Structure 1
């Protein structure tokens, strides 16, 4: 039974949404606007990738004397340093003192030079200045002239000889300096200078890499957290690829008399198309993980093919979850996913979208409170992530479509089918909600938020609220709430990057559920004009 929304419910949820909005603004938006948050959306005045490419090409001609035959620009980030400064509440101080010369984020421009060699040029994201490079060519220089040449170059970059006494030659034949006076909390600046011999006695600086290195115990701690998160993620993948896919097919067959295999075909195909497209849109993020490993067009095509192949089973799992979940709930006389032909369907969808906006804003406030509590209770902190960076998306303005992909797939797999299957097994609603919610939560531990269980705690709470929305107001309301909740957060990235197209797209995505619901209601009323407006009062 899908409950109607009473007048007192509307008033209660409106008040809660207003409170949630105020909390979200105070806890999230204001710190973000002030540059206090570790985020990929803080570069409001970032230069265009074309400008970064032009700066890199010009630098190559000047520094190496070679023109570039091709260029590929991605966003690269030093997640270790940004995470450490976030944890130590030093991001603001870092931005003021060091970000202009030693940024944690830069555009990495891969140049294929005319002599066949590869060069990686790092361009400042706001000033377009060159902040580092690595030209993979030349022969090693003997240690004594190497150190002298590297020191001379470092002095030309503003360092004094007195600051460069702490140094050594690494295994790659490059000089690593630890300049004195460049320290923030327990992180210190590492300056790597590579000098290579070209033809005859000619030599040049082929590498310049200044980075802040966090203390070893922090690096080890993050590595341990990532390893644990990776292992836990396997459990979530098994749940989705094996448990859900296999059981959803079985139960779809078992409950076929209570549903139809026509249900969910359209929505599953739409989901699969946009899900694959959005993941291919993140290809630059995958290349960012490879660092300075040059990729070819053929290898990129291979990555795209493998990505699409791996995502197809998820589309199949979504389809059978929709069929099986719908059949199970209807067999219990609790049709939580209303059908287009059912009485009052259009009005139900219209009311659901209004309620979903309120729920989404309430969830923003609850999420903000959870993060604040965890930050103070267990010292949670976040870092940057090039794989999810808006600057690593080929077509940025379609990014919020991921919100709809997540809403459809996760509500189908973890709520419509997930809650149903465990309710059938355990005959207990809370356990039936908790188990798939935990599986859903551990599927998000790969995000750069530490400790890894921060997101587990957050999403168990959020997930149980989604279960309540689903059980009380139905699958449609749960999907709309999830889509609006994620769309609001993702649209912030578009606004953060800026630009007319991105800001316009952000506004469209935020209001998109309204015209969708209006069209469905109008279409339903046109097809079923004599049916009453109420659904399951």
Structure 2
């Protein structure tokens, strides 16, 4: 064996060992979560909608005359409180059947109507745990002095129904106060016998406007003021960090325009990466449409005109389409400018044209290399969080916003991995590095600053303290940038896509009552399949784009 062959063999062995180590770390530290069915949703979206329909039909409300949206929600205040103080086991034993941290919220609404009916359903046993009506119609005067006893009796009745697993002979609640809303009066009671840590359980009863009858019920926990203040501070900091990210991203876009202006006479290739951008646009539009239920929930139902599950009209449809156009429009100019800068600061070989004869083998190698990097990345991330949780009181809260259940088609959620990989690697690695290298001439600075901007964009993830993800992704963003310099842009795109695809595929396995193994496996290996199919993709692209765009 020649010296060169020996070096190649050693390099291959190092790669294999690093990938195996990353896989071992990821599985070893996450084995319980990967193998456990605890916390897995057992009542699906359609079943929750059926339960809500039956519930309101018994109350002389015709659900068929309304549109509906079912969203898997999370009581973030209570979830954060018990996670912060390590009260998960105690809460699970005492209150998970009365006030589960995750719940389905099925809302019946009409576009531009003032009345909405909501139902909260336990996703583990199908119990209705809360319900009520929202309305902006002004409430007529009601004599509240005669209603407290009625509301209290109603609250006790509802609590006894929810406490069948752990029945109490006497439910002792005390009146706290009331608030007058447009849809009626809201009475609040405290349960003397129910408390988690320093947070007592509260019971809320709604008396509908015009009927003077209790017909709304919900539970909550009064998180102590000190904890609420801490979370409010964390939220404020994360929003500030996100704004800094948005400013940084916008400055990169402005920088791209300035680069293109300065190079306008140097034959900038405006078709660079055009097929990639077409793919990005299709993916972004698909993602936005798929997350329509979340968008409806966040922006309010009364102002939204929606048809069925897939299509929308009015301003929300315009919003979805314009978001995709703006995001991919910015990416287009950044891509062209990044390609122009790559020629100056990295060498053109760091990103091959898809028409280049070596492109298929380049992409094939990048797919396998990127997949290996993704597994190593998963292992290192797992180690990072183990160290953080063990020594720095880092912890993560549930995030229902990323649940596959809150998408029109849950199996399509890993498509977001492809848009994120393409968009973020071109923006922060290719162009970000190129621009900073051109300005400051320092490689380490050109790797670090774009990684920091990229890391700030993940500050809204529910990981505490909020600076945790900034530290994590600044480190990994810098390392990924180094991988681009060592190999090529295609490698880091595949590494990013593979990393996100694996994690999102696991969410399909863990969050669904019927495990979506075929879809999860498909998305998890798709980056490798795309790399293997690179030659066919190139031939197809050349057939579609006959004109030499590059």
- How far is the alpha carbon of 1:361 from its aligned partner? 0.7
Contact 1:288–1:387 (Cα < 8 Å) also in 2: no
Q: Is the 8 A contact 1:146 1:175 kept in 2?
A: no
The aligned counterpart of 1:111 is 108
Q: Which residue of 1 aligns with 2:255?
A: 247
CA spacing shift, 1:255–1:127, aligned 2, 3 Å: same
Q: CA deviation at 1:377?
A: 3.7
Residue number in structure 2 paired with 1:50: 46
Q: Deviations over 1:194-228 (max 9, x none)?
A: 234645xxx43222111223221111111121122
CA contact (8 A) 2:69 2:293 kept: no
Answer whether contact 2:375 2:499 (CA < 8 A) is retained.
yes
The residue aligned with 2:546 is none
- Given the two structures, how large is their TM-score scaled by the length of structure 1? 0.87
Number of the residue aligned with 1:181: 193
By how many angstroms is 1:141 displaced? 4.6
* C-alpha separation in 1, matches of 2:142 and 2:12: 74
Q: CA deviation at 1:81?
A: 1.1
CA–CA distance in 2 between the matches of 1:308 and 1:428?
39
Residues 371-380 or 474-483, more deviating: 371-380
- The answer for the alignment partner of 1:533 in structure 2 is none
Shift of 1:169: 2.4
> Are 2:376 and 1:362 aligned?
yes
More relative contact order, 1 or 2 (CA 8 Å, 6+ apart): 1
Aligned pairs for 1:414-425 within 5 A: 414-425=428-439
Distance in 2, matches of 1:317 and 1:185, equals 49
Q: Which residue of 2 aligns with 1:38?
A: none
Equivalents in 1 of 2:88, 2:34: separation in Å? 11
CA distance, structure 2, for counterparts of residue 106 and residue 333 of structure 1: 51
Q: How far 1:255 moved relative to its partner?
A: 4.5
Aligned residue number for residue 133 of structure 1: 131
Residues 405 and 162 (structure 1), Cα distance of their counterparts in 2 relative to 1, 3 Å cut:
closer
Q: 1:266 aligns to what?
A: 275
How far off is 1:58 after superposition?
A: 1.4
Match of 1:531 in 2: none
Structure 2: distance between partners of 1:215 and 1:423: 49
1:77 corresponds to which of 59, 74, 77? 74
**Secondary structure class of the residue paired with 1:231:** helix
- Cα distance in 1, alignment partners of residues 247 and 286 from structure 2: 23
Question: What CA deviation, in whole Å up to 9, does each residue of 1:440-467 have, x standing for no partner?
Answer: 0101111122221111011101101111
Report how many residues are paired.
512
Distance 1:401 1:116, change over 3 A: closer
Q: Structure 1, unaligned stretches of length 5 or more?
A: 36-41, 529-537
In structure 2, the partner of 1:302 is 315
Q: 1:500 to 1:258 in 2, by over 3 A?
A: farther
Q: 1:491 Cα deviation (Å)?
A: 0.8
- Give the gaps of 5 or more residues in structure 2: 161-167, 307-311, 543-550
Q: Is the 8 A contact 2:44 2:513 kept in 1?
A: no
Q: Counterpart in 2 of 1:482?
A: 496
Checking the alignment, whether the CA contact within 8 Å between 1:275 and 1:402 is kept in structure 2 is: yes
Instruction: Verify the 8 A CA contact 1:284 1:394 in the aligned structure 2.
Output: yes
Residue number among 386, 390, 394 corresponding to 1:372 in the alignment: 386
Q: Do the aligned partners of 1:360 and 1:481 also contact (CA within 8 Å) in 2?
A: yes
User: Residue 430 and residue 415 in structure 1: after superposition, are their counterparts in 2 closer, same or farther (change >3 A)?
Assistant: same
Partner residue, 1:326: 339
Q: Which moved more, 1:487-496 or 1:275-284?
A: 275-284
Do the aligned partners of 2:304 and 2:316 also contact (CA within 8 Å) in 1? no
Are 2:10 and 1:15 aligned? no
Q: Calculate the TM-score normalised by the size of structure 2.
A: 0.86
1:522–1:59 distance in 2 versus 1, CA, 3 Å = closer
Contact persistence 1:240–1:317 (CA under 8 A)? no
Deviates more, 1:128-137 or 1:326-335: 326-335
CA gap of 1:224–1:139, structure 2 versus 1, over 3 A, is same
Checking the alignment, whether the CA contact within 8 Å between 1:282 and 1:388 is kept in structure 2 is no
Kindly indicate whether the alpha-carbon contact (under 8 Å) linking 1:484 and 1:510 is maintained by their aligned counterparts in 2.
yes
Query: Paired residue for 1:441?
Result: 455
Contact 1:230 1:446 in 2 (8 A): yes
**Aligned match of 1:317 in 309, 330, 337?**
330
Aligned to 2:409: 395
8 Å Cα contact 1:140-1:195 kept in structure 2: no
The structural deviation recorded for 1:305 is 1.6
1:39 is matched with none
Residues 79-137 of structure 1 show CA distances to partners (whole Å, capped at 9, x for unaligned) of 11112222222223322321122112211111249x98421111111222110011247
User: Residue in 1 aligned with 2:505?
Assistant: 491
Cross-structure match for 2:97? 100
Q: Note the C-alpha offset of 1:331.
A: 2.9
Cα distance in 1 for residues equivalent to 2:389 and 2:49:
39
Q: Does residue 195 of the first structure (1) align with residue 207 of the second (2)?
A: yes
Higher mean C-alpha deviation, range 227-236 or range 246-255 = 246-255
| Cα-Cα RMSD | 2.9
The equivalent of 1:535 in structure 2 is: none
Q: What is the distance in 1 between the residues matched to 2:239 and 2:473?
A: 17
